[in-house]
Structure 1
Amino acid sequence: MKEIVPKVDEKKTKAALEKTLYKYRDYLLTLPSDLMPTITPAYSLVCPSNTNSFSSKTENLAIERVQYEEARTAYMNKIHSAVATLKPVERQIIIQRFLAEDPYYDVDIFIDLGLSKNTYYKKKWQAMLRLAFALKIEVYQRNAVVK
C-alpha cells in the first residue's frame, strides 16, 4: 500500500509567514486615520428614512474602532501565543527580525546571539517553520510524495 506524505512548500510557507508577521507589525505601528472621527461638520438636506433610530458618524466610527481594536488584539494574541511555543533562541530571532518596532538586520542578530551565519540561518528557518505550523499557515506542495 502506498502512503501519501504531503511536503511543505518552503517558499510559499515563508511568504505566508512573512505576510502574517508584517501584518502584526502593521497592527503594532498603525491605527487607520479613517477610524478617527472628523472634526469638520457635514450637512445634508436629505431626511433620514427611519426617524425612530439615531445614528451619527461619530457613533459609527466609535463602533468600527472598537471592532478594529478587538480584531487587532485577537490577532496579536494569536501571534504572541505562537511565538511563545518557540525555543528561546528561535523566539529571540523571530522577535528581533520580524516583531520589533524597529526590526534588526540578520547580520546584527547573529552577531548579537554569537552564532555563525550558517547556524543563524538554519535556526531562523527552523523558527519560521515551527511558527508557521503553530499558526496553521503552512503551505503544502500540490504533488504529494508517495512512499
Structure 2
Amino acid sequence: FSNEFHSSTEDAALKRMDWEIERDRFLKRMQRAVNRLSQKERQILVMLYMQNEEMYDYEVYAEMRISQRSYYRTKAKAFYRLAFALRVEVYKDGGAPE
C-alpha cells in the first residue's frame, strides 16, 4: 500500500495534459518547418492542408496561376524539404542515413 491515491478522473486529466503538451510541441515544430519553405512551397501546403475548406490540386494551381507541371514540381520539392526539416525523411532502401 502507498499513500498515493489517483482517481480515474485525475489520471484522465493528467493524460490529457500530457497529450496537449505533446501536441503543442508538434505544432511548433511543424510551424517552424513550414516557415523554412519558400513562399510558393508554403502557399501550396497551406492551401491544400492547413485550411478549413478542402481544395484540390487543380484548384490550387489555377488560383496560384502557375502551370500544372510547375505546381507538381514545387509541391514535391516542398514535401522533400519539409521531410528534411522535420527529420522524417525516408530513403529508397528503407534505411536511415549513417
TM class, shorter-length: 0.7 to 0.9
Greater relative contact order (CA < 8 Å, ≥ 6 in sequence)? 1
The answer for unaligned runs of 5 or more in structure 1 is 1-49, 143-147
Task: Give the structure with the higher percent helix.
Answer: 2
Larger of the two Rg values belongs to structure: 1
Matching of residue 90 in structure 1 with residue 48 in structure 2: no
Aligned length in residues: 94
- The list of structure 1 runs, each at least 4 consecutive aligned residues, that deviate by more than 4 angstroms after superposition, is none
The answer for unaligned runs of 5 or more in structure 2 is 94-98
Q: CA deviation at 1:51?
A: 5.7
Distance 2:54 2:82 in 1: 18
What percent of counterpart residues are identical? 34
Q: Aligned letter for 2:61? A: F
Deviations, residues 39-89 of structure 1 (Å, cap 9, x unaligned): xxxxxxxxxxx3622211111111001000001111111111100000011
Q: Aligned letter for 2:56? A: Y
Give TM-score, length-normalised by structure 1: 0.59
Deviations, residues 88-108 of structure 1 (Å, cap 9, x unaligned): 110010111123233311011
Q: CA RMSD in A?
A: 1.6
Give TM-score, length-normalised by structure 2: 0.87
